[in-house]
Amino acid sequence: MDDSHLPSPHNNFFHFAFSHASAVRSLIESHLPSSVIHSLDLDSLQLQKDSFVDDHLRESYSDLLYSVAWADEKGHSRTARIYLLLEHKSQIDQMTCLQLLRYVVRIWEQQHRNDQPLCPVFPLVIYHGESPWTAPRTLDELLGTPNALLPYSVRFTFPILDLCEIPDDKLAKDPFLQSVLSLLKYSRRKELVDRLESILRRLLFNATLDAQLARMNAAVFYILASNPNIPMSTLTMTVQNILPSRIEPGSIADQLLKQGRQEGRQEGRQEGRQEGRQEGRQEGHREGREDGRQEGIIQGEIRLIQTLQKILGTPVSEVSNFNNHSLEQLKALTQELQSQAEQRNQS
């Protein structure tokens, strides 16, 4: 699936993480009933390229579809397959049941058009909101079907993995999946600050260098876009501690480290200026240093604007475009971009 059509940071990170079949297998083994697990040949798990989300709804909804073969009582694979439909929610959605039913019907319609036999579809919702899930999980509950009509109504139920109800040590045994679910769970919470380094270290555990860089880049992008409680200095130091010399040039993590190093140099210069003032240096020198400090603040604001533009997927402005902007104008633009990121984060 093309993530360029999924600008929500939650959607993008969800697709990145669960496009790994190993993560989905771990999810199945950790959270589905044993009766379901034993009926599946997990070695046959395959990601399907199709999406069943309306084009105009892509910013709000996502779906990931896997196929897996049935297994007989002895664990042998059968030719018949079922579909596992993964969907995530960052906030409670009263119409989730209807949304999933629409997905399932579209899958069957496509199979019918292709002269394929219809197969069972197992939907699973991963919910990482800040309060427990309260929306209907059955079609009867959504419609308020009278008891007398229940035997004749369309029956549809979906299971939900409510991360806020699961203790951290029960999220998963697999380090990658455990870190992914932890990032989703704490994506907008202040508690992420204290858990950040351990989560990121598990995310990279036992991965190749290329996979480590891809995972770190995805995680840093997601954290920057979704959690305003993480100080830039903390995120920078954490990335540097975990990957001190293996950051890919041009990546989000690389840009973050460059900004952190620049801020460190500015702090060093500021300390030097303060010492100079304490030593009674000449007024002209102080004015020159203040000019330099002001220029450093402006450059930092421009870099923040460019980072936000990348997160939002909008064209990144050249530094020269801001030559005639005052610091107040730059701060106003930063606030506007941050508001856009927060609004998109809520979708």
Contact 216/254 with Cβ under 8 angstroms?
Answer: no
User: Do the domain assignments include residue 190?
Assistant: no
The C-alpha atoms of residue 165 and residue 273 are separated, in whole angstroms, by 51
User: Do the domain assignments include residue 29?
Assistant: yes
Residue 249 has pLDDT above 70, yes or no: no
pLDDT of residue 58: 45
Looking up tokens 């069943």 gives 52
Lowest mean pLDDT among 142-156, 190-204, 249-263, 291-305: 249-263
163 and 287 share one domain: no
User: Do the domain assignments include residue 104?
Assistant: yes
35 and 168 share one domain: yes
Of 3-7, 38-42, 224-228, the range with the highest mean pLDDT is 38-42
127 and 264 share one domain: no
Contact 37/28 with Cβ under 8 angstroms?
Answer: yes
59 and 176 share one domain: yes
Q: How many domains are there within the chain?
A: 2
Point out the domain boundary residue: 185, 200, 219: 185
User: Do the domain assignments include residue 304?
Assistant: yes
Q: Look at the pTM and tell me if it is higher than 0.75.
A: no
Residue 38 has pLDDT above 70, yes or no: yes
Q: Residue 276: which domain range?
A: 252-345
Residue 311 has pLDDT above 80, yes or no: no
Mean pLDDT score, 282-307: 63
For residue 331, with 0-12 CB atoms within 10 Å meaning exposed, 13-18 middle and 19 or more buried, which class applies? middle
Using alpha carbons only, give the angle 303, 309, 311 rounded to the nearest 5 degrees: 105
The C-alpha atoms of residue 30 and residue 182 are separated, in whole angstroms, by 14
70 and 176 share one domain: yes
167 and 270 share one domain: no
Point out the domain boundary residue: 159, 185, 211: 185
pLDDT band at 9 (very low <50, low <70, confident <90, very high): confident
169 and 58 share one domain: yes
Sign of CA pseudo-dihedral 320, 321, 327, 332? negative
Contact 192/227 with Cβ under 8 angstroms?
Answer: yes
Q: What percent of the chain has pLDDT over 70?
A: 73
User: Do the domain assignments include residue 156?
Assistant: yes
User: Do the domain assignments include residue 62?
Assistant: yes
Residue 52 has pLDDT above 60, yes or no: no
169 and 68 share one domain: yes
pLDDT of residue 167: 95
173 and 300 share one domain: no
Residue 88 has pLDDT above 70, yes or no: yes
9 and 155 share one domain: yes
168 and 257 share one domain: no
The tokens of 174 are what? 């697999």
User: Do the domain assignments include residue 10?
Assistant: yes
CA distances from 155 to 50, 88, 152, 220 (A): 25, 22, 9, 41
pLDDT of residue 332: 86
118 CB-near residues (< 8 Å, 6+ apart):
108, 111, 112
Point out the domain boundary residue: 152, 185, 218: 185
Report phi then psi at 183, rounded to 5. -65, -40
78 and 161 share one domain: yes
Contact 61/89 with Cβ under 8 angstroms?
Answer: no
Mean pLDDT score, 92-96: 95
User: Do the domain assignments include residue 204?
Assistant: no
